[in-house]
Amino acid sequence: MIRMSSDSIESYCPYLDRDLSDYPFCDLGDLQLGGLSMSEKLIEIRTGVSEILQLGGIPLCIGGEHTVTLSIIEALKKRHDHFLVLHLDAHSDLRDSYEGEQINHSTVMRRVVEIVGHENLMQLGIRSGTREEFAWIRNHGTLRSFRPGHEKTLLAGIGGRPVYLTLDLDILDPSCFPGVGNPEAGGWHYSLMERFLEFLVNVDLIGVDVVELMPEIDKSELSSITAAKIIRSLLLVT
């Protein structure tokens, strides 16, 4: 039998003293996007998020593919003049076009940068992209690292700005999160994700999205369970 002190229990389970019943939130259900074109879907998402913002709420949106982030950022930009987009992902999503289209999951962060400016984009976990995308990243200095002990450095880079978090679940390594459409080896393990979620307590979050879960790929339901735990934790720190 191992007996742990209260301090070690707290470090092992950082949400030990928190419960969702202590945090007001409301599930507004799903937007009805079936049968709509991409442009129509983006309008519906932007309208829905705008209504949440008008009521003084903080949107926590669940995708779906990563293109949803564009509409959320457009809605937020009408309410906040200056904020940082913190992008967690295996892929840079910075292509100018993909398969002949300028708005999709591979171009979404390029379109976001056109709204907020490259100086307001910070990317973590990126490990896949084209040569052109990585050249863009180097030229604009958007990629940062996150590991235990680097929290103060990351917080200094945020510089007190309000933060919008877009979390593509393929930032996690496929060994612990296989349920994504484009898995990339070499990703974060859940222990690092939990460390990052605790770090967010120090950040002024104005909105969040969690995207790219494909539950049908992972019959074990491990990915769905992990995604639910991440979303629960985000509710506790938002």
Residues 193-201 have a mean pLDDT of 94
Query: 166 Cβ partners below 8 Å, 6+ apart?
Result: 66, 69, 85, 86, 87, 88, 89, 208, 209, 211
Q: Is residue 19 part of a domain?
A: no
Residue 24 has pLDDT above 90, yes or no: no
- pLDDT tier at 20, thresholds 50, 70, 90: confident
Q: What is the pLDDT of residue 101?
A: 94
Q: Is residue 97 part of a domain?
A: yes
Residue 10 has pLDDT above 80, yes or no: no
Q: What is the pLDDT of residue 16?
A: 55
* Total count of domains within the chain: 1
Residue 1 has pLDDT above 50, yes or no: no
123 neighbors 92 (Cβ within 8 angstroms): yes
Query: 119 Cβ partners below 8 Å, 6+ apart?
Result: 140
Q: Is residue 7 part of a domain?
A: no
Q: Is residue 144 part of a domain?
A: yes
Q: Is residue 208 part of a domain?
A: yes
Model confidence pLDDT, tens digit, residues 56-113 = 999 999 988 999 999 999 999 999 999 999 999 999 999 999 999 999 999 999 999 9
Model confidence pLDDT, tens digit, residues 26-57 = 999 999 999 999 999 999 999 999 999 999 99
Q: Which domain holds residue 57?
A: 34-237
Model confidence pLDDT, tens digit, residues 213-223 = 999 999 999 99
Q: What is the pLDDT of residue 21?
A: 83
Residue 2 has pLDDT above 50, yes or no: no
Q: Domain of 110: which CATH number?
A: 3.40.800.10
186 neighbors 231 (Cβ within 8 angstroms): no
Q: What is the pLDDT of residue 14?
A: 55
Q: What is the DSSP string of the chain?
A: -----HHHHHHH-TTTT--GGGS----------TT--HHHHHHHHHHHHHHHHHTT---EEE-SSTTHHHHHHHHHHTT-SS-EEEEE-SB----S-BTTBSSSTTTHHHHHHHHH-GGGEEEES--B--HHHHHHHHHHT-EE---TT-HHHHHHHHTT--EEEEEEGGGB-TTT---SSS--SS-B-HHHHHHHHHHGGGS-EEEEEEE---GGG-TT-HHHHHHHHHHHHHHHH-
Q: Is residue 57 part of a domain?
A: yes
Q: Is residue 22 part of a domain?
A: no
Q: Is residue 14 part of a domain?
A: no
Mean pLDDT, the chain, whole residue set: 92
